Amino acid sequence: MKRIYIAAILTALTLLTLVFLAVVKNNELILQGEVDTRTYDLSSKITGRVKTIHIEEGDMVQAGQTLITLDIPDITAKHEQAKAAVDIAKAKQLEINNGIREEQKKINLDALHQAENKLRLAEKDYNRMKNLSDAGAVPVQKFDEAKTNYKNALKARDMALESVRMDINGSRYEEKLFAAANVKQAQSNQQEIKSYIDENEIKSPISGQVKEIAIEKGELAGAGYTIISIVDVTDNWIVLNLREDLVSKIKIGSEFNVKIPAIGKENIRVKVNYISAMGNYSTWRATKIRGDFDLKTFEIHAKPIEPVEGMIAGMSVIVDWNKVGKK
């Protein structure tokens, strides 16, 4: 019984040794990566409720195509208010530039004549009361009233005279500048609000494929939150994560072949365009206390030299690392 047990152990050890020697001899190193694709996450500049979704997930879209339409009644109302403000500012500018109307000039001139007549009467009354007051024939109160009436009539005449002078001279240069500035400011406000109105349509920045729609019709789309993702199917690459002891075989510009089983294609030629160390979380830790060290992990990107039909994000990529670096 003991001999049988020893024989079984020896047989097992022999098999393990053969397997180990075969692995060492073949020295196979097969790496697996995956396909990645450039993705554009689209969001709304304004908050609005989804009115219409024009596409479905998986659809191919063109650059500039409308994907989602939002309903934004509050901003629409503000835009109407801004348009009215522009009309008011323009009307005021026109009034200042054209000057006062002839009818208003006549009214102002008549007001000046009336003010002058009242001033003459007030002046006569003042002089008369002054003489009587000096002679002690009237109370001081009566003289003060006449004096006050005369001063008020003088101020009224001066104001009426100033209005007539303005009619003759027209608006000042500063007033015209101020009116023009008001129009420009009102137009700027209107344009700003209109820019928000134009944002009610979410359009595709590229020609690509709809990857995900993260909102439903009738839901509220918050400003700045991703509501739809578009994939550029023409801009893809493979991603490999390598220990640093393997990175020495490649550099930026290196080329090698890969296999993508999902589309049944082998010997796809790719070119390295990105090499970067990953964070400490992806470091390969040493298993020995002495004579070993931690190995960093590097992320490698390589783009196909020729377009590969059917290559989409998430597909597995197989690389025979023994052949990399060999011509």
Q: Which residue stretches of the chain are H helix?
A: 2-26, 73-98, 102-134, 140-169, 173-198
pLDDT value for 162: 80
Question: What percentage of the chain exceeds 70 in pLDDT?
Answer: 81
Residues 282-324: pLDDT tens digits?
Answer: 555 444 444 555 678 889 999 999 988 888 888 999 999 888 8
pLDDT at position 259 over 90: yes
Using a 10 angstrom Cβ sphere, with 0-12 exposed, 13-18 middle and 19 or more buried, the burial of residue 136 is exposed
Question: 104-118, 143-157, 264-278, 283-297: which has the minimum mean pLDDT?
Answer: 283-297
pLDDT value for 269: 93
CA 145, distance to chain mean position in Å, is: 70
CB atoms under 10 Å from CB of 208, counted, come to 23
All structural domains of the chain with their residue ranges: 2-62+213-323, 76-195
Tokens of 278: 């990953």
- Average pLDDT rounded to a whole number, residues 36-53: 89
Q: How far apart are CA 64 and CA 58, in angstroms?
A: 17
Domain 2-62+213-323 annotated CATH 2.40.30.170: yes
Angle between helix axes 173-198 and 73-98 (nearest 10 degrees) is: 160
Q: How far apart are CA 101 and CA 151, in angstroms?
A: 31
Query: pLDDT grade, residue 100 (50/70/90)?
Result: low
What is the pTM assigned to this prediction?
0.53
Distant-in-sequence, close-in-space partners of 79: CB < 8 Å, separation ≥ 6: 190, 193, 194, 197
pLDDT at position 122 over 60: yes
pLDDT value for 288: 47
Tokens of 230: 């578009």
